[in-house]
A and B are shown apart, each in its own frame.
Chain A
Amino acid sequence: MNGAAKGFLAIAFAAAVLYLLQHTTPGYGDITSPIPVTGRSGQKVEANAFAINIAKTHLARTITMKGIGRNQTFTTSGLWVLVEGVAEARSESLTLASAQWLGASGIRYALTQRFQAVPGLLPSQRLEPGLPRPVLMAFEIPENQLAGGTLLLARSAWMPLEEEVRIRMPDMERDGIKPTLELARNAGAVPWRLSGE
């Protein structure tokens, strides 16, 4: 092989390496993306800052709430998913400001903001170290996003390198969808009560 051919090969090799580096460099969003902590429903999942155990999931077409003086009915064109669990801060008081339902097709659904003044409801429930607290999450999702759903929980949706607990939710039967679920306040350890027809 003569010198010119060697030189050409060297340049081609260098170009190939540079191309590879350019196309495999992670973007800023990837570098600072949340650190996943995976777990399963019904299991205590421990991140560094908090621990959570998802106990029960309820599905409904309509949610009713008995308020002071008036009753409220929340309808949806999709499905109400109410998730009950127990959460605890591990070293410092915190709130879980971000909870999302990740559908099988990759679409994320944030917590509903339609309910007000329900004790224990995320994101307002404060978690303290040493005190496991019942937490309630409510999502409004299309019916086709139910199967293969994953629950994503973090202290904040925007902080770079934040821990994110990912809980794979069990597949639920459509028979389990209740026409109406009543959400009421409760005096006791669990500050709400869910009753369905």
Chain B
Amino acid sequence: MEAERRMTALSEDHPGERRRYWLSFAALAIVLPAAILVSSWSSLSEWRRSHTTAPLIVERGATRSYAGAQWQLTGLTRVRTGLPGEILIVAEFEAAVDDPELLRNGPCQVVLTDDRGRRWLPAFIPARIVRQVLPATVDKPRCSALAKAEHGHKITMAETFTIPENATGLALAVTAVSARPEFLIFKY
């Protein structure tokens, strides 16, 4: 009531004032969300970057350019562990370095996935059986070798995963943190 009386008094004195008052009010509806968006923009884009949302699918045997290197999956070998229902997967892959700066810029992650969306992380230390069956792969560097990337070099890497025998539709996902949200999916 009080405000209305004041507004009426205002408009009687200055006719343009009332219009400007309501215009300012209406502008708030746009300005407030815009202010929130602007102040949280960096957090939002950081959040988007931290999610791997853009898969680059690589068919079997193919090579793909990603995060400053040419990537290829060279082998996915099944090894029996002796325990029922369980097998080891030794994934061997390589990166031919084009842009070492880009590749060194941040760690990389390797995950084995299946068609049910389950995700296996690599073993910290390859099992003893891998040392017996595929000794060459045990001494191959892990994904962290990319920190020492040099132009023109080809880095061959290997990771071991423990998975159930009945897992189907396996694929190896490789993410260079600096290249997110894009990540590689090697179909097998």
Q: Which residues of A contact B (CB under 8 A)?
A: 91-93, 126, 128-131, 189
Segment of B35-43, B64-72, B81-89 engaged in the interface with chain A: B81-89
B156 lies within 8 A of chain A by Cβ: no
3 closest residue pairs by CB, A with B: A130-B164, A93-B121, A129-B118
Closest chain A residue to B83, Cβ basis = A189
Among B83, B84, B119, B123, contact of A129 (Cβ-Cβ < 8 Å): B119
Asked if B164 contacts A92 (CB within 8 A), the reply is no
What residues on B are CB-neighbors of A130 within 8 Å?
A: 118, 163-164, 166-167
Q: Are B120 and A93 in contact (CB under 8 A)?
A: yes
Q: How large is the interface on B (under 10, 10 to 19, 20 to 34, 35 or more residues)?
A: 10 to 19
Contacts of A92 in B (CB 8 A): 118-121
Shortest distance from the beta carbon of B24 to any chain A beta carbon, whole Å: 30
Does B175 reach chain A (CB closer than 8 Å)? Answer: no
Q: Mark B145-188, 1 if CB is under 8 A from A, else 0.
A: 00000000000000000111011000000000000000000000
Contacts of B83 in A (CB 8 A): 189
Distance between A62 CB and nearest chain B CB, rounded to angstroms: 32
- The B interface, classified by DSSP as helix, strand, loop or mixed, is loop
Closest Cβ–Cβ distance, residue B126 to chain A (whole Å):
13
A152 to chain B, nearest CB (A): 24
Given A92-B121, A126-B123, A131-B86: 18 more A-B contacts, CB < 8 Å: A91-B117, A91-B118, A91-B119, A92-B118, A93-B120, A126-B162, A128-B120, A128-B162, A128-B164, A129-B118, A129-B119, A129-B120, A129-B164, A130-B164, A130-B166, A131-B85, A131-B163, A131-B164
Q: How far is the CA of A129 from the CA of B114 in the complex (A)?
A: 11
Query: Which residues of B sit under 8 angstroms from A93, Cβ to Cβ?
Result: 119-121
Contact partners of B119 in chain A: CB under 8 A: 91-93, 129
* CB pair A189 B162 closer than 8 Å: no
Beta-carbon nearest neighbor of A91 in chain B? B118
A128 to B167, CA, bound (A): 12
Q: Are B118 and A131 in contact (CB under 8 A)?
A: no
Q: Give the distance to chain A from B77, nearest Cβ to Cβ, in Å.
A: 18
Complex CA–CA separation, A92 to B116 (angstroms): 11
Give the distance in Å from the alpha carbon of A183 to the alpha carbon of B123 in the complex: 26
Residues of A within 8 A of B167 (CB): 130
**Bound state CA distance, A93 and B167, in angstroms?**
14
Instruction: Produce 1/0 per residue, B94-130, CB < 8 A to A.
Output: 0000000000000000000000011111010000000
Contacts of B121 in A (CB 8 A): 92-93
